[in-house]
Structure 1
């Protein structure tokens, strides 16, 4: 596995003309004929998840995501709402609980950690991070077989 891909404008690597063309052409691959993602938030989401859906869906339309990916987006929004609600509760109640003079970590801390992990995973799948957007756009190249004749002509 190689290094993470950087934006074409930010790369310090000397790219070949073919590599530059591939990176420029990557966005054109988004038009694939599938139904575009639903703009309105689904009714079954809670208010926080609906708000996050509305915030994210406008920018997601620029990515090659389609209605087939809606379940992942809904999952992301649900975990975001869990994260936000849990954070609010922990701010109100504190990170530790006192029982019989002994301090324990609040059980919601584990919920917050799980929500954070799931947000990161689903955000990466959806292209909400720079690295994941680059992976979505760049075409995969087939490796040519290395043989002695090809190397030495």
Structure 2
């Protein structure tokens, strides 16, 4: 899809017409019609480490508009995290640079290349699920946690000073 990635209305800056705001409001409200993902059940077939990652990340993702439709993407994320950790341990178990580069041919090892590919896949999935700062900024509506204070209130200056 060409163009900018969509943002929630509350995160948009600049002037918008009523029609643009209404249209994007309909799209935002459409996110709530999907069945929420079940936080309590860990999918079958995950390794022990992938199941731990599922248990860690799904409750956090529940705060975002994640639905049951995202089930397979979240499962794939957990599998790739497990593979990535396994590859990292294989690479780091060798002394020095030997885990990354074959000393005979001066080429990257298969484990290192697979590790780098898993990192790329993780970055892609994390962006799709709202697990990066940039993608969360598009999804999370900022809240006004502090009431703005006037200079007088902030520095304790009275009007008669």
Place the TM-score, normalised by the shorter chain, in its bin: 0.5 to 0.7
The equivalent of 2:101 in structure 1 is 96
Larger radius of gyration: 2
Listed one character per residue, the Cα deviations across residues 15-56 of structure 1 (whole Å, up to 9, x for unaligned) are 33444455566543333253x323232242112211221222
**Structure 2 segments unaligned to the other structure (5+ residues):** 140-161
Higher strand share: 1
The 3-state SS of whatever aligns with 1:110 is helix
1:8–1:105 Cα change, 3 Å = same
Note if contact 1:41-1:50 (Cα within 8 Å) is conserved in structure 2: yes
**Structure 1 segments unaligned to the other structure (5+ residues):** 136-153
Q: CA RMSD in A?
A: 3.1
Note if contact 1:90-1:108 (Cα within 8 Å) is conserved in structure 2: yes
Q: How does 1:115-126 map to 2 (within 5 A)?
A: 115-126=118-129
Q: What TM-score does the superposition give when structure 2 sets the normalisation length? A: 0.62
Q: What TM-score does the superposition give when structure 1 sets the normalisation length? A: 0.64
The 3-state SS of whatever aligns with 1:98 is coil
Report 1 or 2 for greater relative contact order, CA contacts < 8 Å, sequence distance ≥ 6: 1
Distance 1:4 1:90 in 2: 36
The equivalent of 1:52 in structure 2 is 53
